[in-house]
């Protein structure tokens, strides 16, 4: 079996520099060797340097959206690279970069797996603002609204057609959801397990309920998008929008292990690792946990 890795050193979906160094730091930590040591072949998508050089000279806001052309171009390239990996039957692993690239990975994976694709979005945030509801204008807070067709994607995002079913999306770990986003989740009946649900039921039950919601028979292909800020800042401090009260180290890993056990994972994002934030020890810890979440998602077991 082959793991197709796409590195996306991209930070245009939010204002903090450094998140574009996430992929290279995870590679420096040895993530490729670690995956190979698990018995996988590795295929690396090419031209990771292009993401930085494709930044347009002039990219003024469109409405509230910041860096709209740059985000759109990068996401479009991600979509093509992830699609190519999925077409070959590889497990497509995308290393970010900020979460705006999620619109690319979802377009890419769903272009191969169709609307059977189930999405497990592990995050402190819902990332479902529309260009109208976003307060920050940061597009890493918006990727899901485009792919779900909650807003009609206008230029430069008009290449994105609705491709993910609302009943095949489920969240785990939410705890900082904008009021506008709460309204969207309610209106469209989108299933979400917040940290309150994790406290109440325990992570084992929550993951089971989440999988039951999107993939009752465990036969459909699954995409997991793991934002490292889903973890508690004490576990993953080096990230741009940390929120207290997050998943423990083990809860985060449990989600990945349980998803791996289904055998349904076809694509995975690991995003929002920002090596520029915090001291060297926070950096090392966050990069290390990112790599270990990837390994667990690919089936590394404790025994």
Footprint of Mn ion (CB under 5 A): 99, 123-125, 127, 176, 227, 229
Q: Which of 21, 125, 197, 223 is catalytic?
A: 125
Q: Are 142 and 102 in contact (CB under 8 A)?
A: no
Do the Cβ atoms of 268 and 93 come closer than 8 Å? yes
Nearer to Mn ion, 66 or 125 (CB): 125
21 is known as an active-site residue: no
Identity of the residue, 145 or 285, whose beta carbon is nearer to ligand ARG in the bound complex:
145
Residue 81 near which of ligand ARG, Mn ion, none (CB within 5-8 Å, type-dependent): none
The residues, ordered by sequence, that sit 6+ positions from 234 with a Cβ below 8 Å of its Cβ are none
Of 97 and 221, CB closest to ligand ARG = 97
| Contact residues for ligand ARG, defined by CB under 6 A | 99, 125, 127, 129, 134, 136, 138, 140-141, 178, 227, 229, 241, 272
Q: How far is the CB of 78 from ligand ARG (least distance, A)?
A: 15
The residue from 20, 21, 25, 127 that is catalytic is: 127
H/E element, 268: strand 265-271
Residues in the chain: 303
223 is catalytic: no
b (16+ CB within 10 A) / e for 134-150: beebbbbbbbbbbbbbb
Q: Is 281 a catalytic residue?
A: no
Q: Minimal distance in Å, beta carbon 228 to ligand ARG? A: 9
C-beta of 34 vs 136, nearer to ligand ARG: 136
Closer residue to ligand ARG, CB minimum distance, 90 or 134: 134
C-alpha to C-alpha distance for 76 and 221, rounded to whole angstroms: 22
Q: Is 196 part of the annotated catalytic residue set?
A: no
Residue 300 interacts with, from ligand ARG, Mn ion, none (CB under 5-8 Å by kind): none
Does the annotation count 253 as an active-site position?
no
Q: What are phi and psi of 150, to 5 degrees?
A: -75, -30
Annotated catalytic residue within 20, 176, 181, 229? 229
Q: 56 vs 12, 52, 239, CA distance in Å? A: 11, 10, 25
Alpha-carbon gap, residue 118 to 213, rounded angstroms: 10
3-class DSSP state for residue 90? coil
- SS3 for 192? strand
CB of 240 to ligand ARG, least distance (A): 6
Residues classed as catalytic: 99, 123, 125, 127, 140, 227, 229, 272
């Amino acid at each position: 079996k082959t793991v197709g890795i796409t590195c996306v050193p991209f930070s245009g979906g939010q204002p903090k520099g450094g998140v574009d160094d996430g992929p290279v730091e995870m590679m420096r930590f040895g993530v490729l060797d670690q995956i190979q040591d698990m018995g996988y072949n590795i295929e690396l998508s090419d031209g990771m340097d292009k993401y930085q050089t494709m930044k347009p000279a002039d990219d003024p806001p469109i409405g509230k959206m910041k860096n709209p052309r740059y985000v759109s171009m990068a996401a479009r390239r991600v979509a093509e690279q992830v699609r190519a990996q999925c077409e070959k039957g590889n497990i497509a692993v995308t290393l970010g970069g900020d979460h705006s690239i999620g619109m690319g990975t979802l377009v890419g994976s769903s272009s191969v797996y169709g609307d059977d694709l189930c999405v497990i979005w592990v995050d402190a945030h819902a990332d479902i603002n529309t260009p109208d509801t976003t307060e920050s204008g940061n597009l890493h807070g918006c990727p899901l609204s485009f792919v779900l067709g909650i807003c009609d994607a206008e230029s430069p995002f008009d290449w994105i057609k609705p491709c993910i079913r609302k009943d095949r999306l489920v969240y785990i770990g939410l705890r900082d959801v904008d009021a506008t986003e709460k309204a969207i989740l309610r209106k469209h009946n989108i299933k979400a397990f917040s940290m309150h649900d994790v406290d109440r039921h325990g992570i084992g039950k929550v993951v089971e309920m989440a999988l039951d919601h999107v993939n009752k028979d465990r036969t459909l292909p699954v995409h997991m998008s793991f934002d490292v800020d889903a973890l508690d800042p004490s576990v993953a401090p080096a990230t741009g929008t940390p929120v207290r009260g997050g998943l423990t180290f083990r809860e985060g890993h449990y989600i990945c292990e349980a998803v791996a056990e289904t055998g349904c994972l076809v694509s995975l994002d690991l995003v929002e690792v920002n090596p520029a934030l915090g001291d060297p020890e926070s950096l090392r810890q966050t990069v290390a946990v990112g790599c270990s979440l990837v390994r667990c998602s690919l089936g590394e077991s404790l025994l």
